[in-house]
Amino acid sequence: MTIRELYANIGGNYDHAVQVMKMEKLIDRYVRKLKNSGVGDQLAAAGETMDPEKLFEHAHAMKGVCGNLGLDDLADAANIITEEFRPGAARKLSDAEVKEQLAKIDAMYRRAVDGIAAYEAQ
If we measure between CA atoms, which residue out of 76, 77, 69, 80 comes closest to residue 113?
69
At a CB cut-off of 8 Å and minimum separation 6, what does 51 contact?
A: none
The arrangement of secondary structure in 3-121, i.e. its CATH architecture, is Up-down Bundle (1.20)
Q: Can you give the pLDDT at residue 72? A: 96
Average pLDDT, consecutive stretches of 10 residues, N- to C-terminus, the chain (122 residues): 96 96 95 94 96 98 96 97 97 97 97 96 92
For residue range 26-49, list pLDDT tens digits in order. Answer: 999 999 999 899 999 999 999 999
Phi, psi of 63 (to 5 degrees): -60, -45
As a whole number of Å, the end-to-end CA separation of the chain is 7
